Amino acid sequence: MTDSSGHSQIRQTLAAAYARASPSYHLIFLVALGLFIVAVPFVEALPGGELINSGLLTLVLISGVLVLRARRGTLVLAMVLVVPGLVARWINYFRPDLIPPAVHLVLGMLFLVLVAVQFMRFILRSPRVTAQVLEAGISTYLVFGLLWTMAYILVGRLWPDAFAFSSEPSAGRLMNASNALYYSFVTLTTMGYGDILPVSRVARMLAITEATTGVLYMSVLIARLVGMYSTVTPIENKSDTDQ
């Protein structure tokens, strides 16, 4: 009986510690994701730019694993995707002839899908609007942009003529990380400047699905946040009146 109560207290202590630390992990993931997105275009042209980008992406993936650690099954699946993906990423950086980039790109995309699904479940199941819900909402939108960035890089490597570039040659005519990131968020926000055009069927399909996902996600997110706020506010007003 003593051992059982001791184990129960340990579980309660761990649960309380996670509850306190979980919001900070959400914020860490959001900051790491934002830092990676902002830094990619600037550091890619530097002598060690690819190394810096790999380090920032590693930080994003590790912080994503920390966010998903609440559920054991999800954590195991995240580790199965992240660990081989990071190993493949760094091996490809030092020895590109050993592992093709498609390996870490596919594993990275699968992990980002897992992160987006878990964040959306958290948002839809939350009873009220909190800072953690807002962080998850923003992170999910940025995850979508990064997810399609990896998809465009993969398509550009498999089919070099999948995209047409109408910009100046100095801007680059390869679907590298900065161009893919730029095109992904331009498509996600449905801005469409027209300097990068999807030519192949796969590229067009990806552009259509990303634009549709961006519009639907914003509609669902706003509707959910308004629904949570309108549900909680009358209760708070009633309690204030009773007082």
pTM equals 0.82
Residue appearing with tokens 């490597």: 157
Mean pLDDT of all residues in 155-171? 81
d(CA 176, CA 5): 56
pLDDT surpassing 80 at residue 28:
yes
Phi, psi dihedrals of residue 165, rounded to the nearest 5°? -110, 125
DSSP code, position 164: E
pLDDT surpassing 90 at residue 235:
no
Higher pLDDT, 26 or 148: 148
- The whole-number pLDDT of residue 239 equals 42
Going from N- to C-terminal start, the domains of the chain cover 2-242
- 196's enclosing H/E stretch is strand 196-198
